[in-house]
């Protein structure tokens, strides 16, 4: 699922919501009639967009926003949205400044993967997940049989996406997506999602009032974006509606299993197993791009943490989420299926590990390098700039350590005769600064 980071201070969000309320004009804007919407193409271009980061009065933003909705109508219509759907969907919709404040809040600080996993796979989340397995045995077994996805994996995604339905989000989806589409940062993406959301309303799966979710447009128990809903949502209750929003999680969980199945989930295979690397392991062979059969890894001395051989699960790769000094994993095809849901390695590991714990498998055995602090995004940008300047391109400077940056680090480490584990920490940055 394509999703935005939704971390943010609840306190700050509450304060911003309060300011927003104070700035709101009394009453809601009247809904433009479809006739006026049809004239929209003849409207003059809107004024240059206000600088939203300077927190302009909301009424100004909302005026431009209402004009944008008028301009958007013919584009929606050309993609099959009917006027009745459009008007019902946009009834009372206002520019949502809170959505933009969340979108702009890219924290300078990020969590280390072990801090993320501590929270994501906490004792409380494991316990609640076990309670959910006991609460819905018939439903979960039916989903497992129909889609071929283990119930613990479906429940793990549920636990991470909405704390088992506890935090599904209460932001009206049309307003959130329209605000993001109007705002322009990734506007084309959000406009496309907005059209898909209108099509969901048109199909009758949910009412405009009932279509709610996160500020970034992710909806229901397992936080589907509208485009994913249209491709993968299913009606397992048989009432003719794919209802991922209501308290009953049946359709949402079946839809999640369908999503994983359609992204290649293989029942009976693990997402990963924790392994022990031999002394003298060639770290240049680590990373998701180097796939080998289990037998080939076995010949190189790779074993389960217990010392036993890794069972024949097919092709796998060695993942070192915290470099050579942290735990090592052999990841398999199911890792990629979870990654289709959310591409962050930390997310995939959290889903995978939570599902393992729900199935009664043990905690991660090796210890994390907990003394390492997370790099700030300014430091990550500096790291990327220095690697690129040294001839090891990171394919852009975005302040995020993704696959290209990890590859560049590994090549730089190899060229310097260092252990090429691709791990970015302060020690690596110090070495890069040292020339």
Binding site for Ca ion (CB under 5 A): 235, 237, 239, 241, 243, 251
Q: How far is the CB of 240 from Ca ion (least distance, A)?
A: 7
The tokens describing 433, both together, are 């600064």
Residues 6+ apart with CB under 8 A from 141: 151
Which residues is 122 bridged to in the sheet? Answer: none
Q: Which helix (H) or strand (E) holds 113?
A: helix 113-120
Report the nearest approach of Ca ion to the CB of residue 245 (Å): 11
Catalytic residue (one of 71, 108, 115, 161)? 161
CA distance 138 to 433: 58
Tokens of 220: 């229901």
Find the helix or strand (DSSP H, E) in which 330 lies.
strand 328-331
Beta bridge partners of 213: 171, 219
Work out whether the CA dihedral 176, 195, 27, 184 comes out positive or negative: positive
Handedness of CA 288, 289, 293, 299 (dihedral sign): negative
Q: How far is the CB of 340 from Ca ion (least distance, A)?
A: 24
Distance CA 86, CA 33 (A): 10
Give DSSP secondary structure letters for 79-100: TT--HHHHHHHHTT----HHHH
Shortest CB 217 distance to Ca ion, Å: 21
Closest CB 180 distance from Ca ion, rounded Å: 28
Residue whose CB is nearest to Ca ion in the complex, by number: 237
Q: How far is the CB of 238 from Ca ion (least distance, A)?
A: 7
Pick 100 or 154: Cβ nearer Ca ion: 154
Contact between 172 and 212 (Cβ < 8 Å): yes
Kindly state the tokens that stand for 96.
């949502």
Q: Which is nearer to Ca ion, 249 or 420 (CB)?
A: 249
Identity of the residue, 71 or 235, whose beta carbon is nearer to Ca ion in the bound complex: 235
Residue whose CB is less far from Ca ion, 144 or 235: 235
Q: Which is nearer to Ca ion, 49 or 241 (CB)?
A: 241
For residue 71, indicate whether it is catalytic: no
Please check whether residue 244 is in contact with residue 252, taking contact to mean a CB–CB distance below 8 angstroms: yes
If the CB atoms of residues 241 and 263 are measured against Ca ion, the closer one turns out to be 241
Catalytic amino acids?
A: 161
């Amino acid at each position: 699922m394509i999703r935005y980071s939704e971390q943010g201070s609840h306190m700050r969000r509450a304060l911003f919501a309060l300011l927003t309320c104070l700035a709101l004009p009394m009453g809601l804007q009247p809904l433009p009639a479809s006739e006026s919407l049809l004239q929209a193409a003849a409207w003059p271009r809107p004024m240059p967009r206000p600088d939203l980061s300077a927190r302009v009065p909301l009424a100004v933003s909302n005026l431009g926003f209402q004009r944008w909705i008028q301009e958007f109508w013919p584009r929606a219509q050309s993609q099959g949205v009917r006027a009745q759907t459009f008007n019902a969907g946009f009834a009372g919709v206002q520019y949502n400044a809170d959505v933009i404040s969340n979108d702009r809040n890219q924290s300078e600080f990020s969590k280390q993967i072990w801090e993320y996993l501590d929270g994501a796979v906490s004792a409380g989340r494991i316990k609640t997940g076990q309670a959910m397995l006991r609460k819905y045995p018939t439903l979960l077994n039916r989903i497992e049989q129909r889609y071929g996805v283990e119930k613990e994996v479906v429940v793990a995604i549920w636990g991470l996406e909405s704390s088992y339905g506890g935090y599904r989000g209460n932001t009206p989806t049309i307003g959130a997506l329209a605000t993001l589409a109007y705002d322009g940062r990734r506007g084309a993406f959000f406009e496309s999602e907005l059209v898909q959301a209108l099509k969901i309303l048109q199909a009758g799966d949910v009412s405009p009032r009932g279509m709610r979710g996160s500020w970034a447009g992710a909806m229901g128990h397992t936080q589907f974006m509208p485009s994913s809903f249209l491709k993968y949502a299913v009606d397992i209750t048989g009432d003719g509606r794919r209802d991922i929003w209501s308290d009953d999680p049946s359709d949402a969980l079946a839809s999640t299993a369908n999503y994983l199945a359609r992204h290649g989930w293989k029942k009976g295979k693990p997402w990963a197993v924790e392994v022990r690397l031999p002394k003298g392991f060639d770290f240049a062979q680590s990373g998701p791009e180097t796939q080998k059969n289990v037998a080939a890894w076995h010949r190189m001395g790779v074993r389960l943490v217990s010392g036993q051989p890794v069972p024949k699960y097919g092709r796998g790769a060695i993942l070192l989420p915290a470099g050579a000094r942290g735990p090592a994993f052999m990841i398999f095809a199911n890792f990629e299926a979870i990654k289709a849901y959310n591409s962050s390695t930390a997310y995939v590991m959290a889903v995978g590990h939570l599902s393992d714990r729900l199935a009664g498998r043990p905690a991660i055995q090796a210890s994390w390098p907990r003394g390492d602090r997370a790099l700030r995004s300014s430091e990550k940008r500096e790291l990327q700039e220095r690697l690129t300047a040294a001839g090891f391109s990171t394919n852009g400077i975005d302040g995020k350590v993704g696959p290209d940056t990890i590859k560049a680090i590994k090549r730089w480490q190899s060229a310097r005769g260092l252990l090429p584990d691709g791990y970015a920490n302060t020690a690596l940055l110090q070495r890069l600064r040292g020339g």
